[in-house]
Amino acid sequence: MLQINYIKDNLERTIAGLKKKHFKDAELVVQQALDVDSQRKDIQVRLDNTLAQANGLAKEIGGLMKAGQKEEAEKLKAQTAELKEVSKDLEAALKKAEDTLQEILVTLPNLPHESVPEGRTAEDNLEVEKGGTVPELSADALPHWDLIKKYDIIDFELGNKVSGAGFPFYKGKGAKIQRALINFFLNEAEKAGYFEVQPPIVINAASGFGTGQLPDKEGQMYHATADDLYLIPTAEVPVTNMYRDVILSENELPKKNVAYTPCFRREAGSWGAHVRGLNRLHQFDKVEIVQITTPEKSYDALEEMLNHVRGLLEKLQLPYRILKLCGGDMSFTSALTYDFEVYSAAQQRWLEVSSVSNFETYQANRLKLRYKVDGKSQLLHTLNGSALALPRILAAILENNQSPSGIKVPEVLQAFCGFDKID
């Protein structure tokens, strides 16, 4: 969440940043926030003056009572009672103004970093790097949704029977390669200095608000209404919320955590090849890395996270590209996001497998996540990234490594899954 003082001190940058993210009526909404904040300040001053006046009269009353001037004291008591009623009204007005300001501020997305390119859709994202080699497949190469049937490793029909569309069963070598990928990703994160946690996969509304999923993405999450709990869309949410309402010392930083969880998203589509098979699911597995660090070190941390994800894809020998997202394609909470995509050779298209983002102080302000600097509390920066999301990684592995004799398992996974080929 943006801070009102920052908005006031950086008005032009705020409006320009909101426009880069294609936030509607940026000037109008910002002005509303400034007007409400001005009203809030005015009410606070009046309340402070009223309470000071009442306190002054209370002291006078004490003196008059000691001096035996009871009649004068009673007059002042009547004035004090009036001031108390006024203060109650002012306190209610102050609460209303504070709530209104909060309601406006939570509608404002994070401001994009100055390096974020202009643009409205994914077509405007900037490709910054390519790596790996795209395999040359035979003319009869199969897309992964046909390969999984051929080798009986993933069953969408059974998942649809038991749960619904977008909830597949992984079977035999399909299940084992899933487990291999998860263990490989976790082991690599541990080598990179991340501390593993296994968080809950349901969160409360406060946690969803803290990382910005609520109220922005409420319709995209599965909601257990009886308990008012949400199935997590990513491990980012519970892992970052470990530090909600926490003040860290500088020598505790950076915090680096990694978690594997299943993830749940309601927005999975049901049409076309772009959402077919493993391309888009309602439930999928993901390993997430999260960092919390000081503002001056957060972009070095972002670069470190990019290097980590790049290294995973190189070890899996998957062709990849890195995109810097434009203002219109970024998430509500992000200041700068890089997407990693792998090339799925049988589909002949790029598939997103990771987003790595710096949220600067946006989440930390909602979380009240701070650290001490010279005795003063300051907001920290939060970052996270997929390292990695499994379904599209598996789709690319299956398609890119197919041959007439079976599907070769990447060498780095063989020790984890116990076989070198799916046949």
Q: Are strands 195-196 and 255-264 parallel, antiparallel or unpaired?
A: parallel
115 within domain boundaries: no
410 within domain boundaries: yes
194 within domain boundaries: yes
338 within domain boundaries: yes
Together in a domain, 272 and 232 = yes
- Looking at residue 273, what is its pLDDT? 58
Together in a domain, 219 and 92 = no
- Looking at residue 267, what is its pLDDT? 75
- Looking at residue 170, what is its pLDDT? 98
Residues forming beta bridges with residue 338, ordered by sequence position: 324, 356
110 within domain boundaries: no
Q: For residue 15, what are the contacts with CB-CB under 8 A and spacing of at least 6?
A: 26, 27, 30
- The rounded distance, in Å, linking the Cα atoms of 198 and 182 is 13
- Looking at residue 61, what is its pLDDT? 81
- Looking at residue 272, what is its pLDDT? 56
Owning domain of residue 13? 4-105
- Looking at residue 63, what is its pLDDT? 79
Together in a domain, 309 and 160 = yes
- Looking at residue 257, what is its pLDDT? 98
User: In CATH, what number is assigned to the domain containing residue 10?
Assistant: 1.10.287
Q: 227 burial class (0-12, 13-18, 19+ CB within 10 angstroms)? A: exposed
Domain boundary among 56, 78, 105: 105
Together in a domain, 366 and 258 = yes
Binding residues for L-serine: 234, 265, 288, 384
- Looking at residue 270, what is its pLDDT? 46
Binding residues for ATP: 265-267, 352-355
- Looking at residue 350, what is its pLDDT? 97
pTM, whole model, 2 decimals? 0.93
- Looking at residue 322, what is its pLDDT? 98
Together in a domain, 185 and 243 = yes
DSSP string, 59-126: HHHHHHHHTT-HHHHHHHHHHHHHHHHHHHHHHHHHHHHHHHHHHHHTTSPPPPPTTPPP-SSGGGPE
Instruction: Determine contact, residues 119/329, Cβ cutoff 8 Å.
Output: yes
- Looking at residue 75, what is its pLDDT? 83
Together in a domain, 273 and 348 = yes
Sequential pLDDT tens for the chain (423 residues): 999 999 999 999 999 999 999 999 999 999 999 999 999 999 999 999 999 998 888 888 877 777 777 777 878 888 888 899 999 999 999 999 999 999 999 999 999 999 999 999 999 999 999 999 999 999 999 999 999 999 999 999 999 999 999 999 999 999 999 999 999 999 999 999 999 999 999 999 999 999 999 987 888 999 999 999 999 999 999 999 999 999 999 999 999 999 999 999 997 544 455 789 999 999 999 999 999 999 999 999 999 999 999 999 999 999 999 999 999 999 999 999 999 999 999 999 999 999 999 999 999 999 999 999 888 999 999 999 999 999 999 999 999 999 999 999 999 999 999 999 999
Question: Total domain count for the chain?
Answer: 2
Binding residues: 234, 265-267, 288, 352-355, 384
